[in-house]
Amino acid sequence: MTTSLAPSETAAETAAETTAEAITEAVAETTDEAAAEPAAETAVETVLDAGEWVEPAAQDVVEAVVRDAREFGVYARTGGWTFALKVARSVRPGGQPAEGSDKVSAKAFAELAGCSPERVMRYYKAWDMAADDGLVPQFEALVPGEDVELPEADVWLAYYSSRSSATSVRGHAITAAAEAEGIKATKALEVAENPTALRAAILADPGTAEAARNALLDRMKEDPALQTEMARAIARTGDLKKAVAQEAKAADRIDFVRQIAEGGQIRTPAGQTVAAPPELRAEAERHLSLIDELDDSEEAGEWAGEAYDTVKSLVVKAVEEDPALRVQERRAKFYNSLQKATKVFEELTLDEVLEEDVVEDDMLQRLEALQEAIGACISALRKATTAS
């Protein structure tokens, strides 16, 4: 069966003809044509000076220009819906038999149009989604050559993507992220399809590199695998590893100061957590405010070191000036040392030493000296306990 395509008058053509007729009638109603021509020229010049366009009378323009202008007007008002309608009314839905229908397959339509079937199907799918939303008629209600009312042009991009990647799971994720950022999905998809261009922009432009860094940090918050990959990459790069260690040290020092300034507590050298004296907290707040006022481009390491050293010395001073706290601190310090010594001694593997016959006189001398030190320590503690 051969299908002949008859030209049909579109809504835009009718609108353009009506506009041309209105202009012709307005000119005809002018009583004095000689006076009207200069006035019309003046009006045109005034409008042109304002940057606006005055449509010429249709009869003064060749038919090819009029046709192009009318088709352009249709597209300006409806955008891609104009071409989507041509696909939707001429291409039969998938699975529909060819018998009894003037519509053709997407492949046949593409051959007639001189483009790829994939391009045709992108318009087809855009119309299909819009039909599901009730924005346009379903395919079955459309007849080849018949016009219907089309949505506004600005709605088109919500349903159509010029990139086939947009239909994949990855494409949908990129589209959703682009919408969340308030940008066109086509821009994000274009970048995603050309990682080499993205790399070049990052390498050449500090602003792009900063945006990429922020995006990676945001993604790593919810992507453990990426966290591991980044940590591994940094650990294997000497300079980066050293820089991370320095930044981590500065961050720990800032946290130490922040805990005192905002939490009102200090951690003593022996590991105790007690309330911070008012003057110590005020000093911590002063240093913290200086650090928080730094720009992102300024290094915080030196400021963090100065704040940490100052506040730490004040912590030691506060402990020494409080008799009760000083006693608690020394008790805690001694107990911590005793625990460490006990743990080390318990980890000695005597069985392996005896089995392998690796005992030397120096080992015995060290143990005997340790025994004497422990004995003297016990005697001193007993005397102190009896005296108290």
Residue pLDDT tens, the chain, 388 long: 333 343 333 333 434 443 334 333 433 333 333 333 433 333 433 333 444 445 555 567 888 888 888 888 877 888 889 999 999 999 987 656 667 788 998 888 999 999 988 888 888 888 988 999 899 999 989 999 999 999 988 888 777 765 555 556 676 777 778 777 887 777 777 777 788 888 999 999 999 999 999 989 988 988 889 999 999 998 898 888 888 888 888 888 888 888 888 888 888 888 878 888 888 888 888 888 888 887 766 677 788 888 888 888 888 888 888 888 888 888 888 888 889 988 888 887 777 777 767 778 888 898 899 899 999 989 988 888 887 6
CA distances from 189 to 122, 192, 201, 217, 330 (A): 15, 5, 16, 21, 64
* Structure-block tokens of residue 241: 């590893």
Model pLDDT, residue 26:
37
Model pLDDT, residue 16:
40
Which own/partner pairs from 123-127 qualify as long-range (CB within 8 Å, at least 24 positions apart)? Answer: 123/80, 123/83, 123/84, 123/87, 123/88, 123/160, 124/84, 124/87, 124/88, 124/91, 125/167, 126/80, 126/84, 126/156, 126/159, 126/160, 126/161, 127/84, 127/85, 127/87, 127/88, 127/159
Looking at residue 11, its amino acid is A
φ/ψ region of 116 (left if φ > 0, alpha if ψ in -120 to 50, else beta) reads beta
Q: How far apart are CA 286 and CA 299, in angstroms?
A: 18
Q: How far apart are CA 336 and CA 333, in angstroms?
A: 5
- Give the other-Cβ count within 10 Å of 311's Cβ: 24
Q: How far apart are CA 284 and CA 313, in angstroms?
A: 12
Q: How far apart are CA 79 and CA 75, in angstroms?
A: 5
Model pLDDT, residue 369:
92
Model pLDDT, residue 37:
41
As a whole number of Å, the CA-based R_g of the chain is: 41
Q: How far apart are CA 242 and CA 262, in angstroms?
A: 30
Model pLDDT, residue 138:
93
Length of the chain: 388
* Structure-block tokens of residue 170: 């990855």
Looking at residue 20, its amino acid is A
Backbone angles phi, psi at 104, to 5 degrees: -120, 170
Contact of 174 with 215, CB cutoff 8 Å: no
Model pLDDT, residue 204:
94
